[in-house]
Structure 1
């Protein structure tokens, strides 16, 4: 028996990295898991179902239940088929973890249209499409008197929350996912669906070239630290937690605060009189939270 016993979960991007850790931990806590992964390279090129199959094999070898799914989550029809396939295979769906992603990092002036479109599509549409189809399944269930204690857990990023040079496309998508999470948490509460997001910090193939880490820092970037929080959020115990964005790694968990109302000055219709008031509120305002102003332990 585990905290997710009998629940059915979809994990997108579940073949590697944090997605793999999510799938394995959910299964270890009793969930039946659909491991979705195209098996593309970190930049989104190519396809290979073997990483997802390896995760499924590991789950099954330990006595769990899991299946491979190779749908492109940014494709509307394939995202619908993935959700329906989970229901067809296991009888219902309780948890959707939107984790699939790619990187095309460049300075904005060097970024191509394809770099922008590919990242926005995989991250932002690849979160929206599965969430849309899963929510419609849960709405239908609710109307039929079978309201489920359901979860959507999205993946944002410190880059999207605080900004990181060279990741304009990625940050725009991840910031959008954070806002999307807050909005749909409000929309879906009436049908028993909670919606939260994780901004993970882990050492995976997506991040291994961004900075060198070793020792204690490397240990604290193990995806299992994040998987523990995600698995709890997926469980019935977290039914009252919704609309939140969590930063997570081995050094701790934090609830990230969104935009807040800052200092205020009187408005004017005359641009020549604006400066004094604006200078005053700028001096009184806090700096934007940012990666360079991080309050986390930074080994």
Structure 2
């Protein structure tokens, strides 16, 4: 890994899952990583393991500086306070990974849209798509200061019927469109924006549902290696506005999944 000890990063939704994996990989480079999540030691909302404090400690153990920020991403004033604090401390940020979502807040189901709970709008659109936009909105001046990078986690194929769930499909499609629009507006400021599409990933929710090593699955750190590759590419603007599959990024930059650390899959 390249030394990124001067790099300042924000990863939202990082108590567990893909956000945690991204934060851990960035920690290996020595970066300062602000990790946010509603899931904290003082506010557990899920029986799944993981809190924002756990992730921050793991980032520090990997060689970075993990900073835990318990945060409800539906609270715009709290998001604003986070980026104000980072601006005062560092002046800017190099990378925003907008990953917060709450797709597992309800038992996931597919089927005709009229059979799905309307609460899916809140946990997939308000806590997902809107929180991506709000984070980017408040982070914009800090990103422009350092000509940084925004990565939005989403899904890649606009023709796919994602999970047979209208709300999930709408959220993932919106993330790709959001990356395209952010890229357009940021281009003159030297900031790149990319949507990143992980594959079937062994998140804590997936492991709890179907076991430790489902066939064809990736580790939570595999998307993190894609983020790190894009962050260190001086010509990342060539991808700005696109939605990239993690597997394709791995081929382009020549890395493999590692899980656990040091063991090749």
Question: Under a length normalisation based on structure 1, what TM-score does the superposition of the two structures give?
Answer: 0.71
The equivalent residue for 1:120 is 125
In structure 1, list runs of 5 or more residues that go unmatched. Answer: 142-147, 255-299
The equivalent residue for 1:73 is 73
**In structure 1, how many angstroms separate the alpha carbons of the residues matched to 2:198 and 2:27?**
20
The answer to whether 1:184 aligns with 2:204 is no
Structure 1 residues 227 and 191, CA, compared in 2 at 3 Å: closer, same or farther? same
**In structure 2, how many angstroms separate the alpha carbons of the residues matched to 1:32 and 1:228?**
17
Q: Which has the larger radius of gyration?
A: 1
The equivalent residue for 1:58 is 58
**In structure 2, how many angstroms separate the alpha carbons of the residues matched to 1:215 and 1:80?**
39
Superposition map of 1:141-180 within 5 A: 141=145, 148-158=146-156, 162-180=160-178
Contact 1:160 1:170 in 2 (8 A): no
Question: Any idea what the Cα deviations from partners look like across 1:100-120, whole Å, max 9, x if unmatched?
Answer: 112243332222222223321
Structure 1 residues 158 and 206, CA, compared in 2 at 3 Å: closer, same or farther? farther
Give the RMSD, CA atoms, in angstroms.
3.0
SS in 1 for 2:152: strand
**In structure 2, how many angstroms separate the alpha carbons of the residues matched to 1:169 and 1:75?**
21
Question: Any idea what the Cα deviations from partners look like across 1:7-52, whole Å, max 9, x if unmatched?
Answer: 1000001121111111111121131100111118xxxx82799621
SS in 2 for 1:162: coil
**In structure 2, how many angstroms separate the alpha carbons of the residues matched to 1:66 and 1:251?**
26
Contact 1:95 1:234 in 2 (8 A): yes
Aligned-pair CA distance for 1:125: 0.6
Q: Identify which range, 56-65 or 168-177, moves more after superposition.
A: 56-65
SS in 2 for 1:237: coil
**In structure 2, how many angstroms separate the alpha carbons of the residues matched to 1:17 and 1:162?**
23
**In structure 2, how many angstroms separate the alpha carbons of the residues matched to 1:102 and 1:158?**
19
Contact 1:159 1:174 in 2 (8 A): no
Aligned-pair CA distance for 1:238: 4.3
The equivalent residue for 2:204 is 205
Q: Identify which range, 29-38 or 62-71, moves more after superposition.
A: 62-71
SS in 1 for 2:71: coil
Aligned-pair CA distance for 1:216: 5.9
The total of aligned residue pairs comes to 241
Question: Under a length normalisation based on structure 2, what TM-score does the superposition of the two structures give?
Answer: 0.79
The equivalent residue for 1:26 is 26
Contact 2:28 2:63 in 1 (8 A): no
SS in 2 for 1:246: strand
The equivalent residue for 1:95 is 95
Structure 1 residues 195 and 53, CA, compared in 2 at 3 Å: closer, same or farther? same
The equivalent residue for 1:232 is 229
In structure 2, list runs of 5 or more residues that go unmatched. Answer: 253-265
Aligned-pair CA distance for 1:237: 2.8
**In structure 1, how many angstroms separate the alpha carbons of the residues matched to 2:231 and 2:38?**
23
**In structure 1, how many angstroms separate the alpha carbons of the residues matched to 2:22 and 2:71?**
18
